[in-house]
């Protein structure tokens, strides 16, 4: 009897990922046909479809995968489920780098801004990790609090610079976390984050071992510091590129990995496809809600993500407290 039940469970498990892929593919197709502009009524509908709708949907898919996987990597490297780029100050550092690029070298193109933002995100993540190593962590809740405080300091300095240079309004528009401005010719750098997801899948086992701690990783022959450096670099590039193209996407890297881990456990390699599908599904659903809830106006996807992410974050905190 138990053998039959086991075979049935394995059969359902085998079909779960293809079914989830089909469901997410349906959301992707739906995203292509949601918007104020009626594609079938006007003679320019075909051009609008390829210039605006397709790039926007591709950007949603790439950004959803990138930020979800970045959150998963950060949680393993820090050994804490409450961290992701927006709770470690990484996104704020990327914003500072982008603003400095505009102030000091306004003629730099999108690729140059992406590189500078990624470098600042990398440095900011190293600062966060360096502070963690010097603080006695008695509670897992202290880790995201440190990241949020560091991010607040950097964000305050960025705002001061923006006010001093009359770029405050532009700063708010950049980091709103909206896909409204994504069109053909302005999203292609996001393909870089697709490469990052592939690299993360290749070195997933080393991240998993590093997530067990430095002593365990070193004892099995894994170069702990090198793995930390690779993981930090991947997160920094993903955060920098996403920040430059679409702005902040808060809590996406927090919500998706935790939901996947609660359902499937902590095997990084087998979880990455689910994390990608989950990230794409959540960001597309939030984007569709933002586009239809006050049509013809549009609510930024970051606002919807912030509401959903805050609710999940509080739920995780309450679960942590109930477990003691």
Q: Total structural domains in the chain?
A: 1
Q: Is residue 9 part of a domain?
A: no
> Residue 89 falls within a domain, yes or no?
yes
**For residue 38, is it within any domain?**
no
Predicted confidence band of residue 140 (pLDDT cuts 50, 70, 90): low
Q: Please report whether residue 48 resides in a domain.
A: no
Query: Does some domain include residue 124?
Result: yes
- Span 286-311, average pLDDT: 83
Q: How does pLDDT run across 173-225, given as a tens digit for each residue?
A: 777 777 777 778 777 777 888 888 888 888 878 888 877 777 787 887 778 88
Q: Is 303 domain-assigned?
A: yes
Higher pLDDT, 47 or 55: 55
Asked if the structure places residue 32 within a domain, the reply is no
Query: What pTM, to 2 d.p., does this model score?
Result: 0.83
71 is a domain residue: yes
3-state SS record for the chain: CHHHHHHHHHHHHHHHHHHHHHHHHHHHHHHHCCCCCCCCCCCCHHHHHHHHHHHHHHHHHHHHHHHHHHHHHHHHHHCCCCCCCCCCCHHHHHHHHHHHHHHHCCCCCHHHHHHHHHHHHHHHHHHHHHHHHCCCCCCCCHHHHHHHHHHHHHHHHHHHHHHHCCCHHHHHHHCCCCCCCCCCCCCHHHHHHHHHHHHHHHCHHHHHHHCCCHHHHHHCCCCHHHHHHHHHHHHHHHHHHHHHHCCCCCCHHHHHHHHHHHHHCCCHHHHHHHHHHHHHHHHHHHHHHHHHCCCCCCCCHHHHHHHHHHHHHHHHHHHHHHHC
pLDDT over 70 (residue 103): yes
Its domain, for residue 206, covers: 55-322
pLDDT score recorded for residue 248 = 79
Q: Which CATH number goes with the domain that contains 297?
A: 1.10.3470.10
């Amino acid at each position: 009897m138990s053998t039959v039940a086991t075979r049935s469970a394995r059969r359902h498990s085998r079909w779960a990922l293809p079914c989830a892929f089909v469901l997410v593919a349906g959301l992707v197709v739906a995203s292509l046909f949601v918007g104020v502009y009626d594609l079938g009524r006007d003679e320019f509908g075909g051009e609008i479809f390829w210039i605006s709708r397709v790039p926007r949907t591709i950007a949603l898919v790439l950004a959803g995968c990138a930020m979800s996987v970045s959150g998963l990597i950060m949680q393993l490297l820090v050994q804490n489920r409450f961290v992701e780029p927006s709770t470690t100050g990484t996104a704020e550092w990327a914003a500072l780098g982008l603003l400095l690029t505009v102030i000091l070298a306004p003629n730099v193109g999108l690729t140059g801004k992406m590189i500078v933002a990624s470098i600042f995100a990398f440095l900011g993540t190293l600062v966060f990790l360096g502070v963690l190593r010097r603080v006695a962590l008695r509670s897992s809740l202290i880790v995201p609090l440190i990241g949020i405080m560091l991010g607040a300091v950097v964000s305050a300095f960025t705002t001061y610079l923006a006010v001093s240079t009359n770029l405050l309004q532009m700063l708010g528009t950049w980091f709103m976390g909206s896909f409204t401005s994504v069109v053909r010719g302005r999203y292609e750098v996001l393909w870089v984050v697709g490469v990052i997801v592939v690299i993360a899948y290749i070195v997933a086992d080393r991240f998993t071992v590093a997530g067990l701690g430095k002593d365990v990783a070193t004892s099995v022959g894994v170069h702990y510091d090198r793995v930390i450096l690779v993981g930090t670099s991947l997160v920094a590039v993903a955060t920098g590129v996403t920040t430059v193209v679409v702005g902040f996407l808060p809590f996406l890297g927090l919500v998706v990995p935790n939901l996947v881990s609660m359902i499937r456990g902590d095997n990084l390699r087998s979880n990455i496809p689910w994390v990608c599908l989950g990230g794409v599904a959540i960001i597309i659903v939030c984007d569709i809600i933002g586009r239809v809830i006050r049509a013809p106006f549009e609510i930024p996807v970051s606002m919807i993500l912030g509401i959903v992410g805050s609710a999940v974050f509080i739920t995780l905190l309450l679960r942590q407290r109930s477990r003691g």
